Structure formats: structure tokens, C-alpha cells
Amino acid sequence: MSGFSNMLSKLNIDQGGIDIPMKKKTVHVSGKEVSFFNKIFDMVDYDGDDKISGKEGAQFLRRSGLDNDVLGEIWKLACNGKDKPTLSRNYWMIACMLVACAQQEGEPSIKAIANETFELPDFNLNADSDYSENVTLPDGAKTFQVTVGKPHTVGSILNKHTEYTITVKTSMENYPDSNLKIDRRYSDFEWLYNRLARAFPGRVIPPIPEKQSRNRFDKDFVEGRRLALQKFLDEVTQDPTFAVTYDVQVFFTASTEGMEAARSIMPFGDGVLSDMVNKAVAATRSGVAKVVETTTGNVVDTIDQTTEFGDVEYNLTKYSEYVKKVVACGEKMVSAEAASGKAFVDMSGYFTNFVVVARTFEDVDSLDYFTKASDNLKEIGSYEKLDSNAQNEGFVTDLRMFSGKAMSVCQVIHNRDRCNKEIEKADAAIEKAKAKVQEAKAEGKKAVKKAKEAVEKAKEKKEAKEKASESVLQGVKDGVINFHKDRVQMGIESLTRYANQRVDFCDEMQNKCASLINLLGYTAEELRDSNLRIKGYAEDEAAYAAALDALDAADEEPPVREDSDDSDSDSDKSDSDSDSDSDSDSDRKPVKGKKAAKKAKKESSSDESSDDDSDSDSDDDSDSDSDDSDSDSDDSDSDSDDKKKKSKKAAKKPVKKAKKSKKDSDSDSDYAAM
């Protein structure tokens, strides 16, 4: 058939179906069949080449439960009696119709499907199907190597979503290829989780992150979700029961279009995940016996068989709730460190820009330290960003997993509740069948026999439900006990890794900061001197501030009288006159001048360096006066009279006088030695 016919078969779903000409007959495919068979085709056609190969087709058709010989005949009939390696979309529909014919009539026939209407074929796609391909993991936990790549946004503004590119390497023989690359969105992961939860009601399924309607395109949120989804796939593919399911195979092999088809024709019943969360939140402790006895915080391995697990569910829900709050704090730390790392990198870029501009008017060598600092700051920022990612991948992801595991145990408890409800329905069906036996007595023995057979079938169904319920009950007990044990052990391991990570981070940051100092060429002594200078600057600033405070305080003192000011002025004037005339007559100094000199000596004794200078100057002044008195004896009488008048005023500045005297004395002694 042409590509146009294949496209037409997709478009005519609700228009009465299509007619497919075969070798001897024309087969009409109803709209319902076209829809169902097209979705199967998209799901099986993993490479999207609009053809299904013999290997792909045979593996899926075996899910019908038919013998290989019958399936071989069906393939040949769908190819119009020829052995073709592939089937197009329309001929695939013929093959599916032949499967339905063989299941319901015992053998496939083109004539039969052309003339009769059959129910849709059963390929055991229900989540609770017991079909198994009896495959195992050839390399154990290393059979799959799965990597969830960085997310990307797809779609328009009004209808956009986030997708994750997943690469898969596997040694599974029933997979179409050993190297696969697919794109999956969050709803695909949710589908896989719910399918596994339905298929294995007594098992604790690895958790997936919860939905979030707000900020779902935020970078940090999307990255955190990616890490949680990676953890989910790692645990699923390492479990020998989960990894070999057809659900996992579809998830890893179907194209994007095929994954959408799988979610449509392989439902998981009601919303398992959302139903689990809603019921867990509504769980109460009233009227429920305790399942887990705690004496020293350890879980007792014996759980009451008749207990309904409401109390455990309540505790698990609260535990998950509090762990989520810890996760929120961890996410804030990761975000803050990532922002700090970005700031360092930005700072490095600004330094680089500064150097580029400064080179136009400064020496290149003088800017070398800016270049070195820029490179080092970039290293610091990059390392901080890497460390924030490591925190997110380690400790925070572990916390998310702990919270999710608690809710997965709650899911098993809900499965137990569902099994009990199904047993109740089976009891009602038995009673209804027994009532029909009484009604059938009026119709004869055959009717009674048929009614009794219905009763036996109803009882068999009840026994199967009870057996399933016991299996789920055991799963609940194992899940609760293992969760509490793993929570302690894995919690300690996670916290230990986190603590070691923090120590390594601090050591590395210290090394990088020390490297920055070394790059700038400063020695330990220079750094010490720099610190001392900084300390000295601080002390100088403190002294300056104290001086300003003293001046402010002086301004606030009461004013001095005018006559006192005049006296001070005269004192200053006499001081200058005394300096010029004191040489004329040192032998007859007034008594008041001597007292003033003694007073000046006492005032200057508070400072040692000032003392030394004062003594030296006093000696010089004394010697000089002696020499002057010998040479100028004729004028001594007149000078003496003036000296008596001026000495009273000169007493107010004895320090300066003493200094000059000391200087003259030293000078005389030097000349005498010569």
C-alpha cells in the first residue's frame, strides 16, 4: 500500500473504517479496529520507519498465547501468501484480525475475517495479566546502563512540556537493539510506575517525584526531578522482576508516538499514584490497631495478620511530609551555592573585561595580577557549581527517595485494601450465583447444572482473590519492615557521604584561596606586615576620632575672661624678648625665673624623650650665657634692669628656655675640649 493509504487509515478512524484488498477477498476494518491496530503498530514500530520486522512482530504476536506454528501461518496470510520480512501498517491490521479469528475460532482465515466480525484480539496488555515471556537478566544488575540526560522544553507556549533524553545500553536479547535513544516526559515515567504497581501489588515500587504545577519549568526543579527519575530507572532495571516486564521494554523501545499509543491501550486502571496520595493524606489513627511496635525505635518483625494498616499509613505519611521539608531546605542550600558559584564566574568575567580595557592605557605587566585573579575566581566559581550539583545528586536526591519510598509502602497498603474489596465482590457474586441455582430448578436439570457451574467458578475466583490478598499482605509486612531498616542504614550512609563531601569542599576551597594568594606573589611575612599596617591604620583612625572628640569637648567649655587673654598675649611677647636678651646677663636672673624653670622641668618629666632634649638645651644655654657675661660686663647693669621686668613674663614658657640653655652648655664644653 502507498504512504497515502497508510495516512488515510489513520484519518478514517471515526469514518467507518477502511477496506484493505487482499489476494482473494477485500477485508473491511472497522473504525474501532483501525484505532486499536494503529496504536499497536506505533508501539511496536520502535524505529518509526512505518514497517514492522519479523522479529518485532513475532515477539508481540506471541503475547496472544497462540502457538508459533499458528503465528507463522498468520504472518504468511497477512503477506498474501508470501514470506515477507516486514509488514506495512495495513497488512499489520490484517495480521491482528487473523489473531482474533484464531483465538475465537481456533484457526486463522482470510475468508472468515472478510465475512465475520470478531472481538478485538487479546494481547495480554492489562496490567494484571499473568503473561510472561520467561526471560531473565543475562548480566544481572549490569544488564542495563541507563542515563537520563539534561531536560529540554518541547511544544508551543500554550502547550509546552519538558522531555528527558534517555540513552540505554542493554544486553537483553528480546530488545530490538542494544543501543537505544529515546525522549520521555514525566507522564511516561508516571505510566511506568503505575503499571508496575498494578502488576506487582505486593511489591514496593521505586518512587518517582511527585507532580508540581507551579514553577515546573524552573531550572533547579527540573534538574532535581531529573535526578529522581534517574534513581527510579536505576532501581527498576536492577530488579530482576521489574526489568524483564513488557512495560519496561515498551518504555525503553517505543518511539515518542508509540509511547503515546501505549499509554492509551495499556492503561493502569484508576489513577494509582494520585489515589495513593489522597488516601494517605486522609489516613487516620482512630480505631486502628498499631502494626509496628516500638520500644527502642526498632521495628518488630511480627505484624498482626488481621490488622488493617491505617496507623502505619498515617506514620509513613507524616514521615514523608517532614522529609519533604528537609528536602526543601536542602534545595535552598543547593540553589544558594549555585548562585554563589555563578557570582564568582561573573566576577571573573568582569575582571577580564577590565583588563582588556585597561591595557589601552596601562602597562601589561602591571595588570598581570588582575588576570591571575580572574582565572582563579573562575576556578572557584566553577568548583562551587560542581559542588552544588554533587549535593543535589547525593544528599538531596537521597532525601527525595526516602520520602518517596514511604509513599510507595502506602501504595502496597492500598493494594491490600483493593484486594479485600475484590474479595467482598467475589462473595457477592457467589451469593448471586447461588440464588440463580434456585431459580434454575424451575427450568430443568441442565439449567441447574449450569447455575452450579457458575457458583463453582465464582468460588474459584474468590480463592484466587484471597490468595492474591495474602501475597499482598506479606508484601505489606515486608515493605514496612524493610523500609524502617533501610531508612536507618541508608540514612546513616547518606549523611556520612554528605559530611565527607562538605569536608572535601572546604579543603578544596581553602587550597584555591591559598592558590590565589600565591599567584599574587605575597609571602607570609608580607601578609603579616599587611595585617599589622591595617591594625596601625585602625589605631590612627581611633586616635584621630578621639582628638576630634576632644576638640568638640573644648568648644563646649565656658569662655576665658578678656584680661586673662591679654596676659597670655603679653606672655607670648615677653617669651620672644627673653630669647633675644637672656644672653646678656645670666648671672643675675630673678628668683621668679628660677622657679619658672623648675616648674617647667616638672611639667616636662612626663615624657622621657622630651626630658633628654630639655637637659641638653639647658646646658648649652647656660654655657652661652657665661661667655656672654664675660664679654659684655659693661652692659650688664642696664640689661639687668630690663631682665627683671621681662623675667616675670618669661616664666610662662620655661620649657623652651630650658632647651636653649642646654644647647649652649654643650657647645661651651665642646669648645673647651678643643
Residue-wise pLDDT tens digits, 517-547: 777 666 677 667 767 777 777 788 888 888 8
Q: Give the residue extent of every domain in the chain.
A: 3-115, 140-269, 310-520, 523-553, 568-632+639-673
Mean of the pLDDT values across residues 102-114? Answer: 94
Q: Can you give the pLDDT at residue 280?
A: 43
The highest-level CATH class for domain 3-115 is mainly alpha
Distance CA 86, CA 624 (A): 131
Nearest Cα neighbor of 166 from 136, 141, 140, 144 is 144
Q: Which of 79-83, 241-245, 616-620 has the lowest mean pLDDT?
A: 616-620
Joined together, the cell numbers standing for residue 176 give: 530490538
Q: Decide which of 3.30.1520.10, 3.40.50.150, 1.20.1300.10, 2.60.40.10 is the CATH code for 140-269.
A: 3.30.1520.10
Q: Given this model, what pLDDT does residue 365 score?
A: 59
Chain centroid, CA 672 distance in Å: 92
Question: Does residue 133 register a pLDDT over 60?
Answer: yes
Helix (H) or strand (E) holding 167: strand 160-170
Q: H helices of 521-561, where?
A: 524-555
3-state secondary structure 471-489: HHHHHHHHHHHHHHHHHHH
Contact 663, 619 (CB under 8 A): yes
Out of 35-44, 240-249, 507-516, 654-663, least confident range: 654-663
Check whether 125 has a pLDDT greater than 60. yes
Q: How many CB atoms lie within 10 A of CB 277?
A: 18
Residue pair 469/420 in contact (Cβ under 8 Å)? The answer is: yes
pLDDT at 212: 67
Distances (CA, A) of 656 to 331, 600, 615: 75, 9, 11
Question: In a 3-state reduction of DSSP, which class is residue 451?
Answer: helix
Q: What is the pLDDT of residues 55-90, one digit of tens each?
A: 889 999 999 999 999 999 999 999 988 888 999 999
Q: Cβ distance 402 to 490 under 8 Å? A: yes
CB 387 within 8 A of CB 368: no
* DSSP letter for each residue of 276-334: HHHHHHH---TT---SS--SSSPPPS---TT--THHHHHHHHHHHHHHHHHHHHHHHHH
How many Å apart are CA 246 and CA 256, to the nearest integer?
17
Q: What's the rounded Cα separation, in Å, for the pair 118 and 108?
A: 12
* Cβ–Cβ under 8 Å, residues 33 and 93: yes
Please report which helix (H) or strand (E) contains residue 161, including its range: strand 160-170
**Can you tell me the mean pLDDT for 318-322?**
89
CA-closest candidate to residue 20, choices 73, 98, 84, 86: 98
d(CA 201, CA 475): 8
For residues 224 and 400, the answer to whether their CB atoms sit within 8 Å is yes
**Cα distances (angstroms) measured from residue 638 to each of 40, 581, 588, 621, 649:** 138, 11, 12, 21, 18
Cα separation, 286 vs 291, whole angstroms: 13
pLDDT of residue 394: 82
Cβ–Cβ under 8 Å, residues 574 and 653: no
Return the C-alpha cell found at 629: 657675661
Confidence of residue 485 (pLDDT cuts 50, 70, 90): confident
Q: Report whether 251 contacts 46 (CB < 8 A).
A: no
**pLDDT exceeds 50 at position 432:** yes
Q: What's the one-letter identity of residue 152?
A: H
Output the 3-class SS for 613-659.
HHHHHHHHHHHHHHHHHHHCHHHHHHHHHHHHHHHHHHCCCHHHHHH
For residues 424, 430, 434, 439, the Cα torsion angle rounded to the nearest 10 degrees is: 90
- Name the amino acid, one letter, at 464: A
Instruction: Look up residue 62 and give its three cell numbers.
Output: 506471541
Q: Once rounded to an integer, what is the mean pLDDT over residues 655-665?
A: 43
Q: Report phi then psi at 303, rounded to 5.
A: -125, 135
Contact 583, 630 (CB under 8 A): no
Query: Given pLDDT bands bounded at 50, 70 and 90, which one contains residue 170?
Result: very high
Long-range pairs of 118-124 with CB within 8 A, sequence gap ≥ 24: 120/32, 120/33, 120/36, 121/64, 121/96, 121/97, 122/64, 122/65, 123/40, 123/60, 123/63, 123/64, 123/99, 124/63, 124/64, 124/65
Give the pLDDT confidence score for residue 411 in this predicted structure: 85
Residue 165 is classified by DSSP as: E
Q: Please say if the pLDDT value at position 348 is more than 50.
A: yes
Q: How far apart are CA 496 and CA 351, in angstroms?
A: 38
User: What's the grid cell of residue 157?
Assistant: 507556549
Q: What gap in Å lies between CA 88 and CA 38, rounded to an integer?
A: 11
Alpha-carbon gap, residue 234 to 231, rounded angstroms: 5
- Residue 466 exposed, middle or buried by CB count within 10 Å (0-12, 13-18, 19+): middle
**Residue pair 512/383 in contact by the 8 Å Cβ criterion:** yes
Asked if pLDDT for residue 105 goes beyond 60, the answer is: yes
Amino acid at 231: K
Model confidence band, residue 129 (pLDDT cutoffs 50, 70, 90): confident
Whether 602 and 646 have beta carbons less than 8 Å apart is answered as: no
629 close to 587: Cβ distance less than 8 angstroms: yes
What integer pLDDT is reported at residue 217 of this predicted model? 63
* Domain 310-520 class, CATH top level: mainly alpha
607 versus 249: which is more confidently predicted? 249
- pLDDT value, residue 242: 94
Of 414, 432, 415, 224, the residue nearest 338 (C-alpha): 224
